[in-house]
Chain A
Amino acid sequence: MNDKAACGLFDSGHRACGGCGAAMAARLMLDAAGKDTIIVSSTGCMEVFSTPYPETAWKVPWIHSLFENNSAVASGIVASLAKQGRKEKVVAIGGDGATFDIGILCLSGAFERGHDFTYICYDNEAYMNTGIQRSGATPYDASTTTSPAGSCSFGNKRPKKDLPLILAAHGAPYVATASIAYPPDFKKKVEKAINTPGPCYIQVHAPCCTGWGFEGEKTIAIGKLAIETGLWVNYEMENGVVTKVKKVVRKPVEDYLIEQKRFRHLFKPKKNETEIAKIQALADRNAEKFGIDITLKK
């Protein structure tokens, strides 16, 4: 080991794919949260690549119970710490499958009850641990192993569920989206969330080179393109009101789509202008809704 601080609180030796966005998210999150944090992990890629017995990459207290119950486990931990007069912060983490789909009952319950914890969803837009199946977070037209593009399908038929809005509607004091492509912004949001009393939610875009089909060195570039095309918007909501948005000089969605195998069917054997236009419309709607466009002076 050449530098004791190099890995921070998330140790090297974990088994994530080279260039893994979720691994970056884990490390950045811990950098921001600090050592007095208890992590509650759902089942998923991050759990599996970081904790094969007897190895653990986590240098903070960490617990994994099931796929869908991290918010409920976190509720219990928060209650226990309160009873013991302890000051550790509780952070639940889960992939998009655990968060958007199977765990939404526990998540909704915990947010409604108002426990003081932060939930961080690392969103790689499909069930990656089981082999790239579509989830409620999979974007429109993405080809996954359960929403494959085919002769009569363009891939996933539905746009992403708007989970941040759902959680804001629970009365969450702080809801934010972030991207691993913008590390300082993500870390700042993690710090803000854990220091805001009550249930806070961060959804961090974590591109997956294996699942989306791009080279590992491009993880950040792809994350940036998602932002720059308006298909992912980084914003903060405080008490249900959008207070901060990352603005961009927008690029056409094509620039983002063409870089990834999951959208390859939109370009081969020939370019599918109709479907690409639908995706462009989703980006345009995001841009209008959040006001992300920077208009350059001519």
Chain B
Amino acid sequence: MLQITEGSLAVADAVGKCRPQVIAAYPITPQTHIVEALAEMVANCTIDAEYITVESEFSALSACLGASAAGSRVYSATTSQGLALMFEVCFNCAGMRLPVVMTIANRALGAPLSIWNDQQDSISLRDSGWLQFYAEDNQEATDLHYLAYRVSEDHSVLLPSFVCFDGFILSHTYEPVDILSQEEVDRYLPRFRPFQRLDADDPISFGLFAAPDYYMEFRYEIDQAAKKALSVFPKAGREFAELFGRDYSGLVESYRMEDADCALVAMGSLCGTVKDAIDDLRDAGRKVGLLKIRTFRPFPAEEVKKALSGVSRVAVLDKNISLGSKGAVALEVKDALYGSQIPVHDYIIGLGGRDVQKKDIARVVTLAEEGKGDLYYGLREEVLK
């Protein structure tokens, strides 16, 4: 049923219908509306979950870790500084192979303190073993939660997931969203079936330390599991499409790429702006297309390579910066295209909530055509003197 609703509320509705048994969360802007909405559902018994009002994000994810290991489907949400505080637990959840699902309302990391959007927070956890899915709009943000639980809980994967949607730009924006009914969600997402659990009748020790004779093998297996998601995610997407018509089976998504000369690459809400800009540029006769990255982890290098094989240049829009190096998405794209001779230009853009408009996208395309890349787009003049 189509409803005009705030992004956070649509996400909360979806999460509630995934039937999490334990929710642990801590308030942080711009994520808070989600966990407030879930608290209300618990208070009104519209969902049957234990809600733990922890004293920090660090404890939020730690409580989720414990509840997941004890055999419950769990949920948390956070952003920015909160995610940074969870850093240690993030690696732990993945290493212990616990299918936690967490929403990230993407926000910049301090200093300087900023509550506004970019994707530095989740990108900074790229090596943690969490799967990372990025939503373009609130419909996708909502639906990706169903897929995330399916993929994370798949016994051939067993890794936690971030569902990333841009803070404020999506979380606080009202859009029409097709809200699924509980029956519809139940048809897609079965009840939680833990791979193993803490159980007095069948005791296991969970989270042993590994000496050098075993550590590498554990990391190898986590890596293999993450790569397994490259096939499990499309399958989960196809099944979702069969039931509800919306198709997320692509790890990447191409927009007007058929005969594109210049390909833009982006993740998240920026893709909507880019698509509109491309329509204008196409009307003006410029052959521009978009490659949207839906799953940043695992990174779909093969799909990226294939999608970009026919273009003359690539312009990557990075809402993050690996300080002292480049944007994280550009690094991945360059790696995927290694040996192809296709120039990849990196544009650090929209950090800390800096607005990105259609004219900016058009300007980036021009810069790429001029061969000017690897720059911060739209900086104040005074820092360039």
Contact = CB atoms under 8 A, between A and B. Distances in A.
A56 B208 contact: yes
Interface in B204-263: 204-211, 214
B382 interface: no
Interface in A67-92: 68-69, 71-77, 79-84, 88
A56 B49 CA distance: 33
Contacts of B59: 69, 71-72, 75, 105-106, 109-110
B55 interface: yes
Interface residues of A, number: 45
Nearest to A110: B59
B203 interface: yes
A65 B207 contact: yes
Contact of A61 (B50, B52, B204): B204
B65 A51 contact: no
B56 interface: yes
Contacts of A83: 21-22, 48-50, 72
Contact of B89 (A56, A64, A66, A80): A66
Contact of A73 (B63, B88, B209): B63
B343 interface: no
Given A53-B214, A60-B200, A83-B50, A76 B58 contact: no
Interface string B23-37: 010000000000000
Interface in B34-87: 48-50, 52-56, 58-60, 62-72, 74
B70 A81 contact: yes
Contacts of B200: 35-38, 60-61, 88
A40 interface: yes
- Which of A60, A65, A112, A113 gathers the greatest number of chain B CB atoms within 10 Å? A65
B66 A40 contact: yes
B90 to A, nearest CB: 11
Interface residues of B, number: 43
B65 A84 contact: no
Contacts of B211: 52-53
Given A52-B211, A63-B66, A105 B56 contact: yes
B5 interface: no
A64 B65 CA distance: 10
Contacts of B208: 51-56, 64
B336 interface: no
A84 B69 CA distance: 13
B198 A76 contact: no
Contacts of B50: 79-80, 82-83
A61 B209 contact: no
Interface in B168-215: 198-200, 203-211, 214
B352 to A, nearest CB: 29
A79 B52 contact: yes
Contact of A77 (B48, B198, B204): B198
B92 A61 contact: no
Contact of B21 (A56, A73, A80): A80
Given A75-B59, A83-B72, A69 B52 contact: no
B56 A56 contact: no
B62 A80 contact: no
B96 interface: yes
A76 B62 contact: yes
A281 B200 CA distance: 47
A77 B21 CA distance: 11
A284 interface: no
A79 B22 CA distance: 7
Contacts of B207: 63-65
Contacts of A59: 203
A88 B92 CA distance: 24
Nearest to A81: B70
B96 to A, nearest CB: 7
A48 B54 contact: no
Contacts of B70: 38, 76-77, 80-81, 84
A52 B211 CA distance: 7
Nearest to A60: B203
A53 B211 CA distance: 7
A71 B24 CA distance: 14
B199 A105 contact: no
A153 to B, nearest CB: 33
Contacts of B60: 72
A55 to B, nearest CB: 8
Contacts of A110: 59
Contacts of B55: 105-106, 108-109, 112
A58 interface: yes
A221 B229 CA distance: 57
A47 interface: yes
A38 B198 contact: yes
- Which of A60, A61, A72, A83 gathers the greatest number of chain B CB atoms within 10 Å? A72
Given A51-B209, A76-B70, A82-B50, 7 more contacts: A64-B207, A76-B68, A77-B198, A79-B50, A81-B70, A83-B48, A88-B198
Interface of A: 35-38, 40, 47-48, 51-56, 58-66, 68-69, 71-77, 79-84, 88, 105-106, 108-110, 112-113
25 contacts: A35-B203, A36-B200, A51-B205, A59-B203, A61-B199, A64-B205, A71-B59, A72-B58, A72-B63, A73-B66, A75-B24, A76-B63, A76-B67, A76-B68, A79-B50, A79-B63, A80-B67, A80-B70, A80-B71, A80-B72, A83-B72, A84-B71, A106-B55, A106-B56, A108-B55
The 10 closest A-B pairs by CB, nearest first: A76-B66, A109-B55, A76-B63, A72-B62, A73-B66, A76-B67, A80-B70, A56-B205, A72-B59, A79-B50
